[in-house]
Structure 1
Amino acid sequence: MDGLAWLMLIVLALLWGLSFPFAHIALRGLPVLTLVALRVLLATVTLWAVVALMRLQVPDSRAAWASLLGMGVLNNVIPFSLIVWGQTEIAAGLAAVLIGTTPLFTAFVAGALLPDERITVPRLTGILFGMAGVVVIVGPGVLGDLGHSLWAQCAVLGAALSYSFSSVFARRLRRFSMHPVVLSAGQTLASSAILVPAALIVDRPFGLPMPGADVWLAVLAFAVLGTAVAYILYFAIIARAGATNTMLVTVLNPVFALISGALLLGEAVTLRQVGGLALIALGLSVVDGRLWRPLGAAVARQAEGTRG
């Protein structure tokens, strides 16, 4: 991770953190499916413009487009819809903190499905720390209101689980050797093909009152900055610093979301949320292992010295 990679990572975390309050503002004037459809549609237009400007090769096989469709469902259609629906009931900052569990779900799903990603004791320990963080954030108070905020929080956790399956499914796309921007554009196009008709049928948006300028600005920022530009940055960081380093964005993302939610929406940041986020960050550090290797090496050296 050089200086430029860290800068890109921080910008990406800022864009994804701001996406949660942007969605909250947009929901004031738009229903869930319409907002999600606009997000992927505007992102698709932006990304395909980049593909055209860069003159990138577009996949021409049915197998490639079938895989892009599967990626679009797991990485866009399901999680985007669940997150936005969840935000109709819970605060933007809380939704971002819950999405921070994605790498923990990924470690579990990959360990169960991929032979080279088996769950080890450190990885299981990290997953348990992260799940403890989720329990702290959700808190016992919601158990008295099972039909309200608990289901919204479960929806956001379901989005995190869908993201984890998409990261495993992404391995299918390696054989097509697509440019990251083409991959992003392809999956958002496939998502648009599903979400736009669904929004037209379910929400019938043309019969709704015209939203205000603040809603349209939030939608534009949500789609272009929080989706199209964010995807380009995300894959650029993977190419520069690797997927493991890029996973650090999931720790920074909720921090920016909590701060922006407090500043833009007046949301309260509770001690329970901060404590739960700390447990999730601890779990991620254990799953990743790099922060703990110097300590393990020091303990090993001390043990050797004692034996000597």
Structure 2
Amino acid sequence: MTARQSHLAPSAIALLLLCCLLWGINQVAAKAALTEIGPLWQAGLRSAVAGALVWAWAASRGLRLFARDGSLAGGLLAGALFAGEFACIFVGLQYTSASRMVVFIYLAPFVVALGMPWIARGEALSPRQWGGLLLAFGAMAFAFAEGFSAPGSPQQWWGDALGVAAAVLWGGTTLAIRATRLSAAPAEKTLLYQLAVSAVALCGAAALTGEPWPSAWSPRLLGLFGFQAVVVTFASYLVWFWLVRQYAATKLSVFTLSTPLFGLVAGALLLGEGISTRLVGALVALAAGIVLVNR
């Protein structure tokens, strides 16, 4: 294990908030692209393109990504979790709104907070922090219940459930990175493992299930896909995994709770999605919970 800095530098906070802004918009871009490309092809192809970019970036810097360092097992595990996470997200977006999906995904910091004490004993939770977790999970349950009675959306609960599953898988990915040899691997190698495994798994799943290949790559689809593959999956994830290597996971996770706010606003402005009072209340309670956990 490499030593982590306990306090975030201002530059790290700025990078985190920029990543959160991009991740919030990303759900909107993925939802919009579903009218022209299936969810599994979209997720798998963006991993493939981003993986090629990571490899080219590493090669240009002279990084030896394929040197033996004992990280293969951890890389395959993280890649499988990563693939499952995005399968849940992209399929779930067919049934629920982008603004709801982004809220449920950000249960992930609580998965990290629950799991980190098993990896680093110094991050065990106090009674106040457990109270924060209960508050946050209560908020998510409150928001989740709306999906069962939403008019005109009989399957919204299914999309919401996939969002929760994606959160568990994302949190599991972060824990897998911290608990294995990936903890000391370069950020580029950590990301490439996940992109390579997910590209194979998701594209394979798309082919096996008979998901149709997009009939045409319109300028709109190219723009939406390019934003996801290049800006989000390549650039922002590379920054995120570098931060995970440098700083305590629970300290980073608190800032990711700004992403649902960005996602809610982006969904409303770009897709015209409604934001219910229940969902806003859940978001406020979720933020309060994360403050109690990480104060």
The TM-score with structure 2 as length reference comes to 0.88
Match of 1:133 among 136, 139, 143: 139
Residues 205, 169 of structure 1: alpha-carbon distance in 2 compared, 3 angstrom cutoff: same
| Corresponding residue number in structure 1 for 2:28 | 21
2:230 aligned with 1:224: yes
The answer to whether the Cα contact below 8 Å between 2:187 and 2:245 also exists between their aligned partners in 1 is no
Matches within 5 A, 1:75-224: 76-111=82-117, 113-114=118-119, 116=121, 117-140=123-146, 142=148, 148-174=155-181, 177-206=184-213, 208-224=214-230
| Corresponding residue number in structure 2 for 1:286 | 292
The answer to whether the Cα contact below 8 Å between 1:104 and 1:283 also exists between their aligned partners in 2 is no
Aligned-pair CA distance for 1:140: 4.6
The answer to whether the Cα contact below 8 Å between 1:82 and 1:155 also exists between their aligned partners in 2 is yes
Aligned-pair CA distance for 1:173: 3.1
Aligned-pair CA distance for 1:58: 1.7
**Alignment partner of 1:247: what SS?**
helix
Aligned-pair CA distance for 1:92: 0.6
The alignment-based identity, stated in percent, is 24
Q: Distance in 1 between matches of 2:69 and 2:12?
A: 35
2:19 aligned with 1:12: yes
The answer to whether the Cα contact below 8 Å between 2:48 and 2:195 also exists between their aligned partners in 1 is yes
Q: Distance in 2 between matches of 1:175 and 1:255?
A: 31
Unaligned regions of 5+ residues in structure 2, if any?
A: 1-7
Q: Which has the larger radius of gyration?
A: 1
Aligned-pair CA distance for 1:63: 4.6
2:262 aligned with 1:253: no
Aligned-pair CA distance for 1:78: 0.6
Match of 1:53 among 52, 60, 78: 60
Residues 141, 88 of structure 1: alpha-carbon distance in 2 compared, 3 angstrom cutoff: closer
Q: Which has the larger share of helix?
A: 1
The answer to whether the Cα contact below 8 Å between 1:69 and 1:191 also exists between their aligned partners in 2 is no
Q: Distance in 1 between matches of 2:184 and 2:245?
A: 13
CA RMSD, Structure 1 to Structure 2 (Å): 2.4
Unaligned regions of 5+ residues in structure 1, if any?
A: 291-308
| Corresponding residue number in structure 1 for 2:3 | none
2:261 aligned with 1:267: no
| Corresponding residue number in structure 2 for 1:294 | none
Q: Distance in 2 between matches of 1:198 and 1:274?
A: 35
